[in-house]
Amino acid sequence: MSVDELRQGIAALLPQLRRFARTLAWQREDADDLVQVALERALKAEEQWQSGTRLDAWLYRIMKNAWIDELRSRGRQREVMVDVDVEELSETVGQSQTGAVITRLAVHKAMARLPEEQRLAVSLVLVEGLSYKEAAETLEIPIGTLTSRLARGREALQAVLVDGETQ
Amino acid sequence: MDEVMAYVDGELDGAARAAFEQRLGADAVLRSRVEREQRLRAMLGATYAPVVDEAVPPRITAVLRPKVVSLDSRRRWTPTWVQLGGMAASVMLGLIIGHQMRPAGGGLNAQGELAQALDGKLSGEGVGSVRLGLSFAAKDGRYCRTFATDGSAGLACREDEGWRVRQLMPAAPAAAGEYRTAASGLPPALLAAVDEMREGEVLDAAGERAAKSRGWKR
């Protein structure tokens, strides 16, 4: 695959890469910063991509690593993230989709409370639709570790989101 | 591994799946566990799926574009004040005298109030006599902004060393009582230049703030 073809392949994946980023960094600008950093790293390391393997999984892995680096460098500012959510709610709540906005916010808050490794597992399998094998390879962990993180993460989400809703 | 989880995640093979579905038909507790999983998936989908329908911001697509800009595309965007003749030349002279631009490398670079406004102000704001109009990401990977000042209107793009003026022309007179938008008062030729140069939509306030926070560099 030529450099141009690789770039075209990446370009076609941009919408889902942005979605993955949004599960990690909820604010659009932060998420797009993450995508941008990941793309720059991918292009620098383009000779490391092995033709015939899944390009999306390779890019998710680069983005995951970029995100972990980002968290380390900023020392994890969860408080800040939650503050910004409230602003977003007050800006958008006047629109007709109030219920949808509240659902999105509740989902985001529940996701934000998960330990990072559980959130990555939930995001790759339940949002991005990767198989267990693909998700484990992306996160560079054994499948058994992936499924136990996934099980704990989704149980925590269900307890807050689904059980809370039906009570 | 939990079988319910494997089932909803599509990880059971054909035989295991069929067996599980058979039990599912007879077991209400199992069914409610599957439904609980499906509720969660639906909520995650409602939250994150809309992201894929958003327009990808130019600064991201710009990363994928080869850095070389062809000479042809550059030439199209050179300032038109040269061709506009006497009137534009006098406008230009006035601005140079007004310390807003200085000749550099065969063109004009913004300085003074104009440079301050381009760096630090959002659309509709200004410094002194300078008012900012539209901001947009250009196809050559730079941020560009329109401005109006002292009876002239123009367009400058952020290059490595500063704001380079690429268009400069007499301002269109504003009609009395006209509803003012960011594009009001911009000569049609300038709007046409914006349309030709821009990649994606002009920036909204959030986009301008983000671009400003990066020093108008992409």
Separation of alpha carbons A157 and A152, rounded Å: 9
This model of the complex carries an ipTM of: 0.84
Backbone dihedral region of A88: left (phi > 0), alpha (psi from -120 to 50 degrees) or beta?
alpha
Alpha carbon distance B17, B41 (integer Å) = 19
Mean pLDDT, chain A, as a whole number? 83
Report the range of poorest mean pLDDT among A86-95, B5-14, B42-51, B128-137.
A86-95
Say which residues have a Cβ less than 8 Å from residue A56's Cβ, sequence separation at least 6: A13, A16, A17, A128
| Confidence class for position B201, pLDDT limits 50, 70, 90 | confident
Q: What is the overall mean pLDDT for chain B?
A: 79
Please state the rounded mean pLDDT for residues B60-65: 85
CA of B217: how far to CAs of B39, B62, B80, B157, B159, in Å?
A: 43, 11, 24, 10, 8
Minimal Cβ distance to A19: which of B43, B51, B60: B51
Structure tokens at B17: 């799946």
- pLDDT tens for A59-89 read 999 999 999 888 888 765 544 444 444 445 4
Task: Compute the nearest-CA separation of B171 from chain A (Å).
Answer: 35
**What confidence score (pLDDT) does residue B28 get?**
93
d(CA B133, CA B153): 9
Taking the CA of residue A77 and the nearest CA in chain B, the distance in Å comes to 20
Share of chain B above pLDDT 70, in %: 77
State the count of interchain CB pairs (< 8 A) between A and B.
Answer: 89
Length of chain A, in residues: 167
| pLDDT tens by residue, A111-136 | 989 999 999 999 999 999 999 999 99
Do B37 and B4 form a contact (C-beta atoms < 8 A)? yes
pLDDT at B129 over 70: yes
Contact call for B41 and A126, based on CB within 8 A: yes
B54–A43 CB contact, under 8 Å: no
Interface of A with B (CB under 8 A): 7, 10-11, 14-16, 18-19, 22-23, 29, 32, 35-36, 39-40, 43, 100, 103-104, 106-108, 122, 125-127, 131-132, 147, 150-151, 154, 157-158, 161-163, 165
Q: Which residues of A11-42 are buried (b: 16+ CB within 10 A; e: fewer)?
A: beebebbbbbbbbbbbebeebbbbbbbbbebb
* Backbone Cα Rg of chain B: 27
Question: Quick check: A21 pLDDT over 80?
Answer: yes
C-alpha separations of A53 from A21, A50, A59, A138, B108 in Å: 21, 6, 11, 12, 50
The 10s digit of each residue's pLDDT in A45-56 is 888 888 777 889
Mean pLDDT to the nearest integer, B134-157:
87
Q: Which of A10, A104, A150 shows the shortest C-beta gap to B46?
A: A104
With bands split at pLDDT 50, 70 and 90, how would you rate the model's confidence at B63?
Answer: confident
Q: Which residue has the higher pLDDT, A145 or B141?
A: A145
CA distance A76 to A112: 11
In angstroms, the CA A17 to CA A31 distance is 10
Helices A28-44 and A3-24: crossing angle, nearest 10°? 150
